[in-house]
């Protein structure tokens, strides 16, 4: 039976994609590299190393990941203040999970600094999540199951007893590979593209009750 819920962050709890894209474009512009939002689309959900590194490769720019990631996060922090809020249904869904006594985790491909910024902007009560896992905690990224397996371990649960909430194709694949059930939100991809999931919703506001009742 379900004992825990593991949430991806971007596209599930918040929609920060346009903000991190803006920050990354500004960072590249500071180096004289002109980028466009479409340049980043193939790297969404892969973690910031690949998100920035993939675009740098396309433009022939020798990126310094330590320096340029730090600058991107600094710009992101400035950009999102007061502008980044929860997606529809987040607070109510988290309340439903807590009312059922479920343990909760965040498992995001983003680095810890971005995860912490996003959680700050969500203005959730301290202790909302029992475990936090970020992209720096695992070597293999989604679609590998490692991040969800680690989140389950930190919840002291089996992955098979957890529901993963995802919005990305790689995330759904990672949840399946971990042996977890998956609720797919169609905030970023179509239902057809997310066909491997067990449950579907447009946002957490209209998540089916069956996703928490198995």
Indicate if 198 belongs to the active site. no
User: Residue 146 catalytic?
Assistant: no
Q: Is the dihedral of CA 77, 80, 81, 86 positive or negative?
A: negative
Distances (CA, A) of 102 to 94, 135, 162, 212: 10, 23, 9, 9
The residue annotated as part of the active site, out of 8, 39, 111, 161, is 8
Give which of 174, 205, 21 is closest to 109, Cα–Cα: 174
CB 183 within 8 A of CB 177: no
Taking the C-alpha atoms of residue 108 and residue 141, their distance in angstroms, rounded to an integer, is 10
> Residue 152 is encoded by which pair of tokens?
């389950």
**Given 10, 68, 111, 161, which residue is catalytic?**
10
Are 204 and 89 in contact by the 8 Å Cβ rule? The answer is yes
* Both structure tokens of 113: 């600094």
Which residues participate in catalysis according to the annotation? 8, 10
């Amino acid at each position: 039976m379900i004992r825990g819920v593991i949430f991806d962050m971007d596209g599930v709890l918040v929609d920060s994609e346009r903000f991190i894209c803006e920050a990354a474009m500004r960072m590249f512009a500071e180096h004289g590299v002109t980028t466009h939002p479409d340049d980043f689309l193939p790297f969404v959900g892969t973690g910031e190393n690949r998100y920035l590194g993939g675009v740098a490769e396309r433009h022939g720019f020798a990126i310094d990941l330590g320096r340029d990631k730090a600058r991107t996060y600094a710009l992101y922090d400035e950009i999102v203040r007061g502008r980044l809020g929860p997606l529809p249904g987040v607070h109510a869904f988290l309340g439903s999970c807590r009312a059922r006594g479920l343990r909760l985790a965040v498992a995001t491909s983003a680095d810890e600094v971005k995860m912490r910024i996003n959680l700050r902007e969500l203005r959730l009560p301290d202790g909302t999540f029992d475990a936090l896992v970020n992209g720096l905690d695992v070597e293999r990224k989604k679609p590998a199951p490692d991040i969800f397996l680690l989140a389950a371990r930190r919840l002291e649960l089996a992955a098979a007893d957890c529901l993963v909430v995802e919005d990305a194709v790689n995330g759904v694949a990672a949840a399946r590979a971990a042996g977890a059930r998956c609720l797919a939100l169609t905030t970023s991809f179509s239902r057809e593209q997310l066909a491997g999931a067990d449950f579907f919703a447009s946002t957490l506001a209209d998540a089916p009750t069956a996703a928490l009742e198995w």
